[in-house]
Amino acid sequence: MNNALFVGSGVALVTPFDDGGVNERVLRELIEFQLSEGTDAIVVCGSTGEASTMTPAEQEMVVRVAVEAVSGRAPVVAGVGGTDTAVVSQLARNARAVGVNGLLASAPPYNKPGQRGLLAHFRAVLAAGDLPMIVYNVPSRTACNILPETIEELAGDSRVIGVKEASGDISQVAELARRVADRLAIYSGNDDQVLPLMALGGQGVISVLANVAPAAVSRMVRAFLDGDLEAARQIQLGYLPLTQALFQEPNPVPVKAAVRALGFEVGDVRLPLTPVTNETLQQLRDRMQALGLALEVGV
């Protein structure tokens, strides 16, 4: 059996910004909100957290604050991504130094390494961080697909404990599960495919939707794990229109606007992303209200 960092719902947390950089006060508020709503793991400095536009110092600060704010109540996972293996390795060392529970490591974007290059990259990051690692497969962002056989080879290292699968290819997920589900936790990286992936042996989700509906995402995963498939199905399908709106524009543009609509002062996205359009914002608000999510008046 695998040694998962968590089973259930992990949130791919947005990073709150203000004019001075990262807003520590709001970051702590977001974490308290997530834990109070049943989220099982806090994942920071990922794609949704805009790590690609943050300095290494900002990323280290976010991870440190998350570890402090969570205070052992749930695992904290630090995203470590980038094109340069040496820089990513240093991010892993920084995360380890502030006491994070694990790493979420994506394939290097832009470089488009082959499978041998991916193996070498992940092994270098493992050696530097010496922490449990979730491998993140997100070809739409990295232009590089981590094949099931590559993950199976990485699974020979006991520190590789999970996979966040966001390829969108259920056939690939099935092959991955066949090869490694007895050793690695498989998490959905797509909010519209949580139940299909869990039906193949997955143990939860690392979710964008959980930023705005953490209790619902937690209930959905728990219902599935408890065998209440109809309840899980109703949540998956009931939240599908909101999930679609959250990806109407590049992530995290819509979700950050949605979190602001809940009343959290998370600021806007950093360039090269641009603020949400009025059309998408109205769509978000309409779908959130239809689900009974409490919106701040005038936000």
The active-site residue, picked from 110, 112, 164, 239, is 164
Cα separation, 99 vs 129, whole angstroms: 11
What pLDDT is stored for residue 299 in this prediction?
Answer: 47
Which residue is catalytic, options 110, 136, 187, 239? 136
pLDDT score recorded for residue 74 = 98
Alpha-carbon gap, residue 187 to 210, rounded angstroms? 14
pTM of the model: 0.96
> What is the Cα–Cα distance from 94 to 21, expressed in whole angstroms?
19
Residue 145: the pLDDT is 97
| C-alpha closest to that of 198 among 161, 167, 234, 223 | 223
CB 32, CB 215: distance < 8 Å: no
Pick from 39, 27, 65, 75: nearest CA to 208: 39
Question: Has 112 been annotated as catalytic?
Answer: no
Find, among 241, 164, 256, the residue nearest to 206 by Cα: 164
Listing DSSP states for 201-247 in one string gives: T--EEEESGGGT-HHHHHHHHHHHHTT-HHHHHHHHHHTHHHHHHHT
Question: CB-side exposure of 187: number of CA atoms within 13 Å?
Answer: 29
Is the C-alpha dihedral spanning 196, 200, 204, 207 positive or negative? negative
- Predicted pLDDT at 298: 46
Give, as one character, the DSSP assignment of residue 53: G
Specify the 3-state DSSP secondary structure of 98.
coil
Predicted local distance difference test score (pLDDT) of residue 54: 97
Please say if 164 is a catalytic residue: yes
pLDDT of residue 294: 82
According to DSSP, the residues that pair with 134 across neighbouring strands are 104, 162
Residues of the chain with pLDDT under 50: 298-299
Q: In this predicted structure, what is the pLDDT of residue 162?
A: 98
- Dihedrals phi, psi of 66, to nearest 5 degrees: -60, -45
Distance of CA 226 to the CA centre of its chain: 23
Quote the pLDDT of residue 178: 97
What Cα–Cα distance (Å) separates residue 204 from each residue in 12, 193, 201?
Answer: 13, 11, 9
Query: Going from the N-terminus, what domains does the chain have, and what CATH number goes with each?
Result: 8-235 (3.20.20.70)
What pLDDT sits at residue 250? 97
CA distances from 216 to 28, 74, 144, 166 (A): 21, 18, 32, 20
Q: Rounded distance, CA 45 to CA 60, Å?
A: 9
